[in-house]
Amino acid sequence: MYKQVLAFLVTLSALGCGSADGAFDGSTPPEDTQTNEDASRPDADESSAKLADASNGDTAADTTDADISDDAALSSSVALVVRFEGPPAREIPRGTTDAELYRVTLVPQQAVEIFRFPFSIDQVRESACAIGSEGAPNYSAFTLRDATTGAVLMGPTEATGIPNGPRGMGEFTRAIPLRLEIGNERTLVVTATVRQSDPRCPFLGEGVRVTMGDPVTGRFFAAEAVGLVSESRYVRHGEIGNNLLRTGNVMTIGGPGYDQSVVSNERGQFWFCGDPVPDLPAGEANAYRGCCTNGRWRDLSERDGRIQDGMLLRLASSPIIYYAYTRGDRTPMRTFFPTTAELNSWRHPSGREHRGLDVSDPTACLDVFQVTSEQLLTLSHGPNAMFRPGSVYVRREAEPTTYAMGPNRTLIPIRLREGADLEAWLTATPGLVRRIPEAFFAATYQRIGPPRLLDDTLPADRTLEGFTAPTEEIETGLR
């Protein structure tokens, strides 16, 4: 719109209709004139220094509002004021979607329309990677959102750069400009998705920050980025308060190591597999290792406000995952999974496909409902849950016997022909053998079947198929 109006005004000027006394005639001052004025200002060196800092990644930006660009020469009719708001430096786990990286408030003094916001994302340490090893971004899907409503105002868009490079650059734009009326103060946030891993160019533990503004001019809003509605022209540099390129605070990329998996839902809430928890209640802990150790869980309001058979349940104060079922005499019951290994043998494809149990994938956590102690106690406590039949071979800590997990909660001792290498046969496919702490073994695995001689000419994973029980469920055989 502004370019069309400007073209019309320039035509009028050529016909002699422009202002003869030097008053504004509808055209914007040339950009080189603004640059020359900047060079003569006392704060020009300060602006250049800040731009250099933002490029080199040496320090985080000051979060105060002390810097007012063009303070001495600021127009008496300010159109817009920019106020940096943070957020404060903090840790952001990798794998997070819609992670907030930057926050700014725009305070219009006159009605304005905003066309674009340039931005960059920089790793603080130059050897770290904002752009991944294969050219894919480690930070993607940048959006500009309304901080109050969460509505996406611009984007998603991508920051591009050199593979393995410490900087990515992008720009928020929109065909219909973002309009701000007088008094319509608006806080905007920049969000992005943090990649789960890039092992060839790690960024876990690294600091990263977003810079908003035009790196060429060192301004938050460059020329032709903001329009003044009342005069149908672009806003000049001197008509924007705090119009300096601003670098956000340093965010540290955290979360689990690269040997662990991360899962998130559409709201950006995430789960990963935690370390052993040594101090759980007696009888329910022996080096417990659970995946559902963080994040936000589902609510019973999604299911008529009541616990139903087949639900995975969790208390807010413990990582233990329970399973709800009804016993044959119609008594509501619960069992608990000693570790994530037992849970994933039932809820992860690897438990059904005999390809080695994946104990680090927390996808099952997306189906966990958080309940209160009172709600959980409405269920009687049954025996511990076991592995899915045919999912793993099992060993106990106190003796060397190897068992296959068979039907009806029964362990089958296995052996090979004389001279065969049992260890090599079992470990040819990783994840087939699970070692059970003695306390759990004694309390859980009480049914032992007759030994079985296995054919070592077949792979150990294929042999597991002979121990499956397709019709059995978690509660099968539980009293």
pLDDT (average), residues 83-110:
89
Q: Which residues of 215-227 are buried (b: 16+ CB within 10 A; e: fewer)?
A: bebbbbbbbebbb
Give the C-alpha separation, 28 to 231, whole Å: 11
**Is residue 180 packed enough to be buried (19+ CB in 10 Å), middle (13-18) or exposed (0-12)?**
buried
- Comparing CA positions, the residue from 352, 423, 429, 438 lying closest to residue 387 is 352
Instruction: State pTM to two decimals.
Output: 0.46
Residue 162: φ, ψ to 5°: -80, 135
**C-alpha dihedral over 59, 65, 67, 71, to 10 degrees?**
170
User: Between 44-56 and 31-39, two packed helices, what is the crossing angle to 10 degrees?
Assistant: 100
pLDDT, residue 298, reads 86
Answer whether residue 26 shows pLDDT above 60: no
Give the C-alpha separation, 339 to 195, whole Å: 27
Give the C-alpha separation, 386 to 401, whole Å: 18
Angle at 474 between CA 280 and CA 426, to 5 degrees: 85
- Comparing CA positions, the residue from 385, 376, 387, 370 lying closest to residue 332 is 376
How far, in Å, are 86, 104, 193 from residue 145 at the CA level?
14, 11, 14
Could you tell me the maximum CA-CA distance found in the chain, to the nearest angstrom? 108
Answer whether residue 66 shows pLDDT above 50: no
Give the C-alpha separation, 394 to 403, whole Å: 5
pLDDT (average), residues 456-479:
91
Q: Are 107 and 80 in contact (CB under 8 A)?
A: yes
What is the DSSP code (8-state) at residue 180? E
pLDDT, residue 183, reads 87
pLDDT, residue 197, reads 60
Give the C-alpha separation, 183 to 110, whole Å: 8
**Is residue 398 packed enough to be buried (19+ CB in 10 Å), middle (13-18) or exposed (0-12)?**
exposed
pLDDT tens across 141-167, in order? 999 999 998 899 999 999 999 888 889
Give the C-alpha separation, 97 to 44, whole Å: 38
Whether a cis peptide bond, with omega within 30° of 0, leads into 87 is yes
Residue 58: band (very low, low, confident or very high) from pLDDT cuts 50, 70, 90: very low
Answer whether residue 286 shows pLDDT above 60: no
pLDDT, residue 205, reads 62
pLDDT tens across 119-141, in order? 999 988 766 788 876 667 788 89
How far, in Å, are 247, 326, 473 from residue 330 at the CA level?
62, 6, 17
Whether a cis peptide bond, with omega within 30° of 0, leads into 156 is yes
Residue 267: band (very low, low, confident or very high) from pLDDT cuts 50, 70, 90: very low
pLDDT (average), residues 431-445:
82
- Comparing CA positions, the residue from 146, 105, 140, 104 lying closest to residue 121 is 140
pLDDT more than 70, % of the chain: 72
H-run or E-run covering 438: helix 438-444
Beta bridge partners of 314: 370
What is the DSSP code (8-state) at residue 237? G
pLDDT, residue 399, reads 81
Answer whether residue 210 shows pLDDT above 80: yes
- Comparing CA positions, the residue from 477, 472, 455 lying closest to residue 389 is 472
pLDDT, residue 264, reads 54
Which long-range CB contacts under 8 A does 63-71 form with residues at least 24 apart? 63/88, 63/249, 65/242, 67/242, 67/244, 68/241, 68/242, 69/43, 69/219, 69/237, 69/240, 69/241, 69/242, 69/243, 69/244, 70/41, 70/43, 70/237, 70/238, 70/243, 71/43
pLDDT, residue 165, reads 84
**C-alpha dihedral over 238, 239, 244, 246, to 10 degrees?**
180
Which residues, other chains included, contact 451 with Cβ-Cβ below 8 Å and sequence gap of 6+?
Answer: 412, 413, 414, 415
Q: Are 258 and 203 in contact (CB under 8 A)?
A: no
* HSE (side-chain half, CA atoms, 13 Å) at 61: 33
Q: Where are the domains of the chain?
A: 28-254, 262-381, 393-467
Q: Are 355 and 392 in contact (CB under 8 A)?
A: no
> Which DSSP string corresponds to 342-403?
HHHHHHSHHHHHTS----S--GGGGGEEE--HHHHTTSEE-PPP-PPTTS-EEEETTS--EE
Answer whether residue 452 shows pLDDT above 80: yes
What's at 129, amino acid-wise? C
Residue 278: band (very low, low, confident or very high) from pLDDT cuts 50, 70, 90: very low
What's at 375, amino acid-wise? Q
Q: Are 142 and 155 in contact (CB under 8 A)?
A: yes
